[in-house]
A = this chain, B = another copy of it.
C-alpha cells in the first residue's frame, strides 16, 4: 500500500525483507519481482527519477517509441502496488548496518518533516544519478529544453541527433570528449566551455582535425520555443544556430545515505557482481548507480536480477515460510 504519514504507524514493528531506495525503473522492477517472490518490500522514493524527465523513451522493447519515461514509472508503480508492495514518498537520510538488519532513517515531508526509522534484512540501492546541467543565470531556460532536444545521453539519443547541428556542453576537457563518439551520428558539432575551463592545444588540434568548432565565451541563454532549442546566445550577443544539444557535465550520485557503510566504488558507481550484489552481502545496487550502462531497460533487468538473488538467499536460509500440509491439517 501507499504509506502516508497517518498510515505509517501500521508498519511500526515490521522488519521488511527488502527496502528499496528509489522508485525509478530499477527499483520498481525490483519491487515487482520481490512481491512476486512473496517477499515483503518497501520502496522509498524521493520523486523525479532520471527517467521521469525523458519525454520519449525511444528504445524500450514493448513500448511505442513516443512513450514518456514518466508513463513507465506510473505503470510500474501501479503494478507494484497491485502486488501489495509498500511505497512511501520520502528521502532516505542514513542507513545503519545492525548486523542482521539495516536501520533506515527516512525524512517524510518537505515542510515540517517527520522522521521514521524502518528496518529491513536487505537493501537495494536504486537511487540513481541526476545529470549536471549548464549553470546559467536563468536555469528555467535550461529546463525548458532538457529532455526534449537538449539531451544528456549519447547512447539513448545519438540517433535523434543524426546529421543535425549539435552543441556539446561540457564541464571539463575530458567531458567534451563525448563529441568524438557523437561524430558517429553527425559531423556538425560545436563544443561549448561556457568559459568555465581551459582546453589544451592537443585537444584543439584534435577538434580541428575533425572539423569541430570550439566556443569558449560564456553562454547568455539558450534560444528556442516550445521546448525545442534552436541555438545559443553568447555573452557578446552573437548567436550560434543549433538543431540539438548534448550535455556532458557529469552527474550527482545519490549515495549520501550509504556514507557509513564500507562499499566498493568505481568513480561514483557501486561495483557489483553479475546479480548486482555490492561488496556488502546484503546490499544490492541497480540502475544508474551501479557500474554499467545507464539505460531504462537495463535498469529494469537489474531489478529482476537483484530481486532474484535476494529471494535465493532468503529461500536457502529459510527453506520455506509455508507450514507443511501435515501441520496445516493438524492445526
Contacts and interface: CB of A to CB of B under 8 A. Distances in A.
Nearest to A213: B325
B322 A186 contact: yes
A242 interface: no
Interface residues of A, number: 61
Contact of A72 (B28, B61, B183): B61
Contacts of A301: 295, 297-298, 300-302
A308 interface: yes
Contacts of A75: 61-64
Counting every copy of the chain, the complex holds 2
Interface stretch (A29-37, A41-49, A167-175): A29-37
A158 B36 contact: yes
23 contacts: A29-B297, A35-B159, A36-B58, A36-B158, A37-B159, A38-B185, A61-B303, A63-B63, A64-B79, A65-B79, A183-B320, A184-B315, A184-B322, A186-B322, A187-B320, A187-B325, A211-B325, A211-B326, A293-B304, A293-B305, A295-B301, A297-B300, A301-B302
Nearest to A36: B159
User: Most chain-B Cβ atoms within 10 A of its Cβ — which of A59, A79, A303?
Assistant: A59
B59 A33 contact: yes
Nearest to A159: B36
User: Most chain-B Cβ atoms within 10 A of its Cβ — which of A33, A297, A311, A328?
Assistant: A297
Given A36-B58, A38-B185, 6 more contacts: A28-B61, A37-B184, A61-B72, A62-B72, A295-B304, A297-B297
A308 B324 contact: no
Interface in A137-183: 155, 158-159, 162, 181, 183
A76 interface: yes
Interface string A211-246: 100000000000000000000000000000000000
B328 A62 contact: no
Contacts of A304: 59, 293, 295, 297-298
A180 to B, nearest CB: 8
A58 B36 CA distance: 9
B65 A82 contact: yes
A252 interface: no
Contact of A38 (B25, B60, B184, B293): B184
User: Most chain-B Cβ atoms within 10 A of its Cβ — which of A210, A295, A304, A326?
Assistant: A304
Nearest to A320: B183
A6 interface: no
A321 interface: yes
